[in-house]
Structure 1
């Protein structure tokens, strides 16, 4: 029976890592055409231009000077490809908007043309004088400059692992980022017509599992498996460059630098989609945080939970409370909340009373442009029992967390302390300290007007 148990564990480990086993390079593979990136198809689907632009690219290379990071230092291999000029020229061809001309190795081209001229003059004595000469070289209307300006290693690292009775596994990941800048320059006056900036993350992930167990006396079973996947840096650089070329084309259409040979409706739809993408990019901070104005001016909150008495009696017990509030936002991060509360307070076998409170709070939303944010609040109020007697003043403060499930609905949890200016809340006066109580609650906030999707620029 025990052997079957270990066999099941072993099979489970092997099948968990089946992705590695089914894709092992067990033989020599033939050469294949280069893979496309998600940006390649978008680049090829751009509408055709009315007239392609002749463009020259002298160099578009790695400007970081970084070497590939390793766990025990750096190697002498560069972190990113040194052939970015070739990648850019291929992207320009794929777009069909540009006619790239040879400029990276212009010396080789000029030397070869000189050899052709010298050969014709020296060895073709009886040449026809009307024989056409070498055609002149094309000259570029615009130049493209820029390069790979940064390669950031380990912008996010992490993992998870667990082990139980000698069986366990772990997952580790690392994220890098490569950034390219591309600018277009007019050769007639040197003016920079457009400049674009694109970043692409690079993911590396390692998964391993192991089993270590004595199956019998002097019989040790030890099994290990795992695999590692690394997103190719070359593919990440290619995708970033292709995205930069696509952005350059669309920016040029938007600013009437050139025109597309397509129906106006199609071009307008394309520019509208690009405009939304630009707004989202401008509102996105590092690590994918989308920063935008999310809350309207007016909101209504309904919440409930439990209260816990802190007075002169012992053995407090939890009793329910309910709250309704109206809110007005002075700014995206600051609002005024006016609420009515029905509160029950109790101590075991000694006290069970109810109060109505009217509170006015000032709330500070700490991350107003995030979906998930902590907040703190504080203010004052007054309370009375259900017979409108035993009136007392108080102040309260608390903290909570809110998650915006949609543009209109927020879900929150909070904790609050109420400091009362009365020692008669529990209907007994003892000692020198006034009676306090605590609230712990869950609530929903409804935002009346839906905000426009205004993007907030990154700081």
Structure 2
């Protein structure tokens, strides 16, 4: 039976890591065409140009001078690719908007053309002077300049692990970020026509599981498994460059610098989507925090949970409660709420009675522009039992967390402390202290109407 338990545990640990084993490099692999990125399809679906632009790229290289980070020792391998010019030229060609011309190694091109001329002059002495000569080189209408200006390591690191009696596992992650700038320069007057800034995060993850257990006297079972994934830096740089080329084209179309033959509706849809992306970028901060006002002007809330009395009897029992209310946003951070609550208060072997209360609260959202925010609230209310007897006034305050999976829906958990100005909630007047009660619950809030500004 014990052996079966350990075999089952081993199978669980193995299967939980199957995703890494399914792609084990167990043999030689043939060369394949390079993978595309998330930006590749967008780049190839840009509007059709009215006329392609001849573009020259002299250099687009790593300007950070940064070496790969290592835990031990030093490395003379650079953190990012030194061939970003080639990536940019490929992206320009894929966009169909540009005709890239050779400028990075223009010296090699000119030398080869000189060899052609000298060879023709030496071996074609009787050549017809009317024979066509070498065609002239294309010259660029615009130049693309810029480079990789930043590579930040370990902007976020973290993980999780657990171990019990020699069996456990862990997950670790690390996030880096690469940043590029790209600008388009007119060769006729040197004016910078457009400049864009793109960043891309790079994720690394490690998963491992292990089992270390004595299965019998002098019999030790030890099992280890795991895998690590690292997002290729070259693909991250490629995606950033492709996104930069897309942005240059769309901004050029928007400002009338570049012209397209596509239908106006298609172009306007692409520009509107690009405008939305820019608005998100303007409201975004590091760590993918989008800082815009999340909650609308009005809200309707339903909640439920448990209520617990703190009165004159011992052994209080948790009893259910339900509440419904409305909210009005006074500002992005402050809300005014009114609610009706139905709840029960009980003690073991003594009372079990139902109450209704009407509450009015002022609520403070601490992080109004984040999806997950703590909140605190306070206010007053009036309560009575189910027979409209035993009335009482009270004040209440509480705190909790709210998460917004969408702009209209809020999910919250909270705890609340109610201080009543009555010693008769449990139908026993004893001592000088009034009766109190707690509420712990979860709720859903639906927000609608216009946002309350920034």
TM-score (norm 2): 0.86
- Identify unmatched segments of 5+ residues in structure 1: none
The equivalent residue for 1:288 is 288
Judged with a 3 Å threshold, the aligned counterparts in structure 2 of structure 1 residues 431 and 150 are, in CA distance, closer, same or farther, namely same
The equivalent residue for 1:182 is 182
Question: How far apart are the structure 1 equivalents of 2:14 and 2:380?
Answer: 62
* 1:31-430 equivalent positions in 2, closer than 5 A: 31-114=31-114, 116=116, 128-130=128-130, 132-214=132-214, 217-352=217-352, 355-384=355-384, 392-404=392-404, 406-423=406-423, 425-426=425-426, 430=430
Deviation sequence 1:181-240 (CA, Å, 0-9, x none): 211122223322222222222222223333434455544443433332222111111111
Question: How far apart are the structure 2 equivalents of 1:106 and 1:241?
Answer: 22
Judged with a 3 Å threshold, the aligned counterparts in structure 2 of structure 1 residues 14 and 261 are, in CA distance, closer, same or farther, namely same
Does the Cα contact within 8 Å between 2:372 and 2:402 map onto a contact in 1? yes
Question: How far apart are the structure 2 equivalents of 1:24 and 1:429?
Answer: 73
Judged with a 3 Å threshold, the aligned counterparts in structure 2 of structure 1 residues 292 and 56 are, in CA distance, closer, same or farther, namely same
TM-aligned CA deviation for residue 267 of structure 1: 2.4
Judged with a 3 Å threshold, the aligned counterparts in structure 2 of structure 1 residues 15 and 446 are, in CA distance, closer, same or farther, namely closer
TM-aligned CA deviation for residue 73 of structure 1: 4.7
Question: How far apart are the structure 2 equivalents of 1:315 and 1:6?
Answer: 44
Question: How far apart are the structure 1 equivalents of 2:196 and 2:138?
Answer: 26
The equivalent residue for 1:442 is 442
Deviation sequence 1:18-71 (CA, Å, 0-9, x none): 555554444444433323223223322323211001111121111222111112
**2:418 alignment partner, SS class:** strand
TM-aligned CA deviation for residue 256 of structure 1: 1.8
Question: How far apart are the structure 1 equivalents of 2:361 and 2:6?
Answer: 61
TM-score (norm 1): 0.85
Question: How far apart are the structure 2 equivalents of 1:68 and 1:6?
Answer: 42
TM-aligned CA deviation for residue 166 of structure 1: 4.0
Q: Tell me whether 179-188 or 419-428 shows the greater mean CA deviation.
A: 419-428
Q: Tell me whether 138-147 or 26-35 shows the greater mean CA deviation.
A: 26-35
Does the Cα contact within 8 Å between 2:93 and 2:100 map onto a contact in 1? yes
Does the Cα contact within 8 Å between 2:332 and 2:453 map onto a contact in 1? no
**2:330 alignment partner, SS class:** strand
Question: How far apart are the structure 1 equivalents of 2:348 and 2:5?
Answer: 52
Question: How far apart are the structure 2 equivalents of 1:297 and 1:166?
Answer: 53
Does the Cα contact within 8 Å between 2:331 and 2:453 map onto a contact in 1? no
Question: How far apart are the structure 2 equivalents of 1:161 and 1:115?
Answer: 66
Question: How far apart are the structure 2 equivalents of 1:280 and 1:246?
Answer: 17
TM-aligned CA deviation for residue 385 of structure 1: 5.2
Deviation sequence 1:381-412 (CA, Å, 0-9, x none): 34455666665543221112233355444333
TM-aligned CA deviation for residue 94 of structure 1: 1.3
**2:445 alignment partner, SS class:** strand
Q: Tell me whether 268-277 or 327-336 shows the greater mean CA deviation.
A: 268-277
TM-aligned CA deviation for residue 284 of structure 1: 4.2
Deviation sequence 1:353-395 (CA, Å, 0-9, x none): 5554333211112232334332111122344556666655432
Aligned-residue CA RMSD (Å): 3.3
Q: Tell me whether 133-142 or 80-89 shows the greater mean CA deviation.
A: 133-142
Q: Tell me whether 79-88 or 64-73 shows the greater mean CA deviation.
A: 64-73
Question: How far apart are the structure 2 equivalents of 1:184 and 1:134?
Answer: 30
**1:419 alignment partner, SS class:** strand
Question: How far apart are the structure 2 equivalents of 1:132 and 1:313?
Answer: 110
- Identify unmatched segments of 5+ residues in structure 2: none
Question: How far apart are the structure 2 equivalents of 1:360 and 1:56?
Answer: 67
Question: How far apart are the structure 2 equivalents of 1:455 and 1:99?
Answer: 45
* Count of residue pairs the alignment pairs up: 454
